[in-house]
Amino acid sequence: MKDVRLFDTGFSAGEGLARFAQAVPDAGGIVSFVGKVRAEQDVKALELSHYEPLTLPGMEALADRALERWALDGLMIWHRVGIMQPGAPIVLVSAGARHRRDAFEAVDFAMDHLKSDAWFWKRERRSDGWHWIEPRGQDHNDLSRWDILTEQD
Amino acid sequence: MSVRVLFLGKLSDLAGAERDMDAPLDWAGLLENLPAGAKALVEGEKVRLALNGTLLADKTALQAEDGSEIALLPPVSGG
């Protein structure tokens, strides 16, 4: 079971989780991550832009890789685009599996890839206007963990 | 007879969100039609190019026909 979506208006993480839990009734465990717009000094809003012909297929391919790599009953990736206020959910990733380790790792893997190589561009509005957010080195370090693990497999 | 060119991320500050250019359009023609600030970035190796939704391995090999869509993609900031 795979549920990958982009939303241009707000979604409810609670509703997403309830729907996912119904879709994987035999899972022994479900791990979920909700990413939100961080409340920071002077950040009034965050805008996420995307290029739909690449962004959604890229998310689908990421979900397929996670489903191949871990024994999962299902995987859900919901992601917002557009303008969001601090506190609003940006991303919801849930994995259901027979055993918890597969679910934890699949969610961690999906988040590291969404944060570093998914087709999204971010800018934030501060009191002096909009500022583009540059790629973070930490996100690439997080991503390389999975390459090392692959070599060890 | 035109090609639609989309500018993602901070390229949109330098060139606007989209522009129509005359078809057919190759790499040299694309660069000629860009404002100087955007041209410098697009020429750099960090900006990728998608033609009709597919990334080009070599953007300088661009050959866009009438009705095509080009997307210029700076490094992503992640989700």
* Structure confidence at residue A142 (pLDDT): 84
Contact A51 B50 (CB under 8 A): yes
Q: Is the ipTM of this complex over 0.95?
A: no
Enumerate residues 6+ apart whose C-beta is below 8 A from A88: A10, A36, A37, A80
CB contact under 8 A, B78 and A51: no
Q: How far is B9 from chain A (nearest CA, A)?
A: 5
What's the Rg (C-alpha) of chain B? 11
Note the helical H segments in chain A.
13-23, 52-69, 100-117, 137-152
- When CB atoms are compared, the residue of A49, A54, A114 closest to B78 is A114
For A86-95, how does the pLDDT look when each residue is reduced to its tens digit (9 = 90+)?
Answer: 999 999 999 9
Using pLDDT thresholds of 50, 70 and 90, give the confidence band for residue B8: very high
Question: What distance in Å separates the CA atoms of residue B63 and residue A104, rounded to the nearest whole number?
Answer: 45
| CATH value at residue A37 | 3.90.1170.40
Asked if B79 and A132 come within 8 Å (Cβ–Cβ), the reply is: no
| Contacts with A27 (C-beta within 8 Å, 6 or more apart), sequence order | A73, A74, A96, A97, A98, A103
The whole domain housing A34 covers: 2-152
| Three-class DSSP category at A28 | coil
Question: Is the pLDDT assigned to residue A152 strictly greater than 60?
Answer: no
Nearest CA in chain A to B48: A119
Q: Is residue B17 a contact partner of residue B7, using CB atoms and an 8 Å limit?
A: yes
Enumerate domains of chain B plus CATH numbers.
Answer: 2-73 (3.10.20.30)
What total of structural domains would you count in chain A?
Answer: 1
Could you tell me if A113 lies within 8 Å of chain B, comparing CB atoms? no
